[in-house]
C-alpha cells in the first residue's frame, strides 16, 4: 500500500451547516473514511493540523502546512491537503514556493458544497485526488472539479459554482475522467534537490488600478511601511503613467517609479486584473512607458501567485535585485519562461 499523509486544515470540505452559518467541524479522518479509493489503496495517516475557514488561513499557517507536507514527503509519503476554497489559490501558491522540488505528489483539494449535501463535490474531489496521487507525479498540484492543475497557476473564478477554479493560462496538467487520469500537457518534474523555504513576510499589498484612482493611495501604502506592491493593472499591464497636465510624477506610474528608484527600493510587480492572459508590457505605448526596469513584470503569473511570491521573496530576505531575478525564474511553473 502507498503511504499517504493527509493534512486537514478545515474549509467547506470539513464544514457542516450550523445555526450561525456553515463552519468547519468535520475531522479529516471522518472524511477519508468515505472514500474507498483512499481506504483501500492507501495506508493513510491523517492529521488535523488546523480547523479553519480558509478566510483565516494566514502566512504562518502556510509555514506550518509546508513543514508538515515537506517532512511527510521527504519520508516518502504522498500528501493530500484538504483546504477551504476561499484562499486555496494563495495557499497552493505558497506551498509551491515553500516546498521546492518535492520527491512525491502533494495535492491540495477542497469543495464548494458541504460533504453532507446530496450534491456535494467533496467526495468527487477527494476521489479524484486519490486517483491522481496514485500516478506518483512529483510536484504540488490542485485537484478540483475533475481538473489537475499546477498549484502555482490557479485562481478562483467563481464564488458559488463547483467549477470554481481555473488556471490563468487555461491549461491543465490532466483531467480525471471516469476514474482515469487523462494527461492534457506534459508533466514538468524536476530532479533537483528538494528543499524547504517556509518563511513569508506579510507586508505586501495588492492594489487594483481603477480609473481616476487618486495617486496618494501609493503614498498611503508606502508610508505605512509596506515592503512590496503587486499592481493589478489594466489589460496587458497598463497603468496611467502621465496626465494630460504632463507631470509624470503626479500620476500612478510616476509615483511607482519613484518608489522603486529612491532609497526605499520597493519592489513593484505588475500583473493584470483580467483573470487570464497575463501581462505584456511591450504591447502598448502605455505599457512601454512603465516597462521594466524599474517595474517587475508578472508575465503570465496569476495575481495570487505574484502576491505570494513577493511575500516569499521578502521572507527569504531577498533585496530588490534578487527579487527581480526571482521573478524572471519559474520555481514551480508559476510563469512561462523563454
Q: Which residues, numbered 248-307, are part of the site for its own copies (CB under 8 A)? A: 272-280, 282-288, 303, 307
Does 212 contact its own copies by CB under 8 A? yes
Annotated catalytic residue 86: yes
Annotated catalytic residue 121: no
Does 114 contact its own copies by CB under 8 A? no
- Residue 132-161 contact track with its own copies, rule CB under 8 A, x = bound: ------------------------xxxxxx
Is residue 326 helix, strand or coil? helix
Does 21 contact its own copies by CB under 8 A? yes
Is residue 78 helix, strand or coil? strand
- 163 CB neighbour count, 10 Å cutoff: 13
Annotated catalytic residue 156: yes
Q: Any residues with CB less than 8 A from the CB of 263 and at least 6 apart, and which?
A: none
Which among 16, 201, 242, 284 is annotated as catalytic?
Answer: 284
The C-alpha angle with vertex 82 and arms to 93 and 115, in degrees rounded to 5, equals 135
Does 238 contact its own copies by CB under 8 A? yes
Residue 138 or 169 with smaller CB distance to its own copies: 169
Does 216 contact its own copies by CB under 8 A? yes
Which among 53, 86, 121, 198 is annotated as catalytic?
Answer: 86
Residue 72 or 279 with smaller CB distance to its own copies: 279
**Rounded to an integer, what distance in angstroms lies between the CA atom of residue 179 and that of residue 240?**
49
Is residue 82 helix, strand or coil? strand
Is residue 4 helix, strand or coil? strand
**Rounded to an integer, what distance in angstroms lies between the CA atom of residue 98 and that of residue 199?**
8
Question: What does DSSP say about strands 105-109 and 78-82: parallel, antiparallel, or unpaired?
Answer: parallel
Q: Which residues, numbered 43-82, are part of the site for its own copies (CB under 8 A)? A: 53-60, 62
Which among 147, 156, 227, 309 is annotated as catalytic?
Answer: 156
Does 86 contact its own copies by CB under 8 A? yes
Residue 132 or 172 with smaller CB distance to its own copies: 172
Residue 179 or 336 with smaller CB distance to its own copies: 336
Which among 85, 87, 167, 271 is annotated as catalytic?
Answer: 85
**Rounded to an integer, what distance in angstroms lies between the CA atom of residue 36 and that of residue 43?**
12
Annotated catalytic residue 85: yes
Annotated catalytic residue 289: no
CB of 116 to its own copies, least distance (A): 15
- Residue pair 281/290 in contact (Cβ under 8 Å)? The answer is yes
**Rounded to an integer, what distance in angstroms lies between the CA atom of residue 248 and that of residue 240?**
9
Active site residues: 12, 85-86, 156, 284
Amino acid at each position: 500500500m502507498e503511504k499517504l499523509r493527509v493534512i486537514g486544515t478545515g474549509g467547506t470540505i470539513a464544514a457542516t451547516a450550523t445555526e450561525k452559518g456553515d463552519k468547519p467541524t468535520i475531522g479529516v479522518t471522518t472524511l477519508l473514511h468515505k472514500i474507498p479509493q483512499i481506504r483501500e489503496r492507501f495506508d493513510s495517516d491523517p492529521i488535523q493540523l488546523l480547523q479553519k475557514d480558509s478566510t483565516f488561513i494566514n502566512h504562518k499557517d502556510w509555514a506550518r502546512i509546508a513543514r508538515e507536507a515537506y517532512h511527510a514527503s521527504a519520508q516518502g509519503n504522498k500528501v493530500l491537503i484538504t483546504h477551504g476554497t476561499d484562499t486555496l489559490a494563495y495557499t497552493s501558491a505558497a506551498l509551491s514556493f515553500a516546498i521546492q522540488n518535492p520527491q512525491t505528489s502533494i495535492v491540495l483539494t477542497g469543495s464548494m458544497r458541504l460533504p453532507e449535501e446530496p450534491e456535494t463535490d467533496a467526495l468527487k474531489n477527494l476521489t479524484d485526488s486519490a486517483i491522481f496521487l496514485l500516478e506518483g507525479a512529483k510536484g504540488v498540484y490542485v485537484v478540483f472539479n475533475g481538473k489537475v492543475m499546477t498549484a502555482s497557476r490557479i485562481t478562483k473564478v467563481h464564488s458559488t459554482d463547483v467549477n470554481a477554479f481555473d488556471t490563468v493560462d487555461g491549461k491543465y496538467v490532466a483531467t480525471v475522467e471516469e476514474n482515469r487520469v487523462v494527461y492534457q500537457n506534459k508533466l514538468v518534474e524536476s530532479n533537483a534537490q528538494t528543499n524547504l523555504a517556509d518563511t513569508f513576510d506579510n507586508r505586501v499589498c495588492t492594489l487594483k488600478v481603477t480609473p481616476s484612482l487618486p495617486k496618494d493611495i501609493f503614498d498611503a501604502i508606502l508610508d505605512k511601511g509596506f515592503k512590496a506592491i503587486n499592481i493589478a493593472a489594466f489589460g496587458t499591464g497598463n497603468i496611467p503613467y502621465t496626465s494630460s497636465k504632463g507631470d509624470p510624477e503626479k500620476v500612478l506610474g510616476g509615483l511607482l517609479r519613484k518608489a522603486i528608484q529612491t532609497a526605499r527600493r520597493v519592489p513593484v510587480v505588475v500583473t493584470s486584473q483580467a483573470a487570464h492572459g497575463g501581462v505584456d508590457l511591450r504591447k502598448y505605448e502605455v505599457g512601454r512607458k512603465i516597462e521594466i526596469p524599474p517595474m517587475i513584470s508578472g508575465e503570465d503569473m496569476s495575481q495570487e501567485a505574484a502576491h505570494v511570491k513577493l511575500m516569499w521573496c521578502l521572507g527569504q530576505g531577498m533585496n530588490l535585485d534578487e527579487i527581480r531575478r526571482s521573478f524572471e525564474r519559474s520555481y514551480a511553473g508559476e510563469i512561462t519562461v523563454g
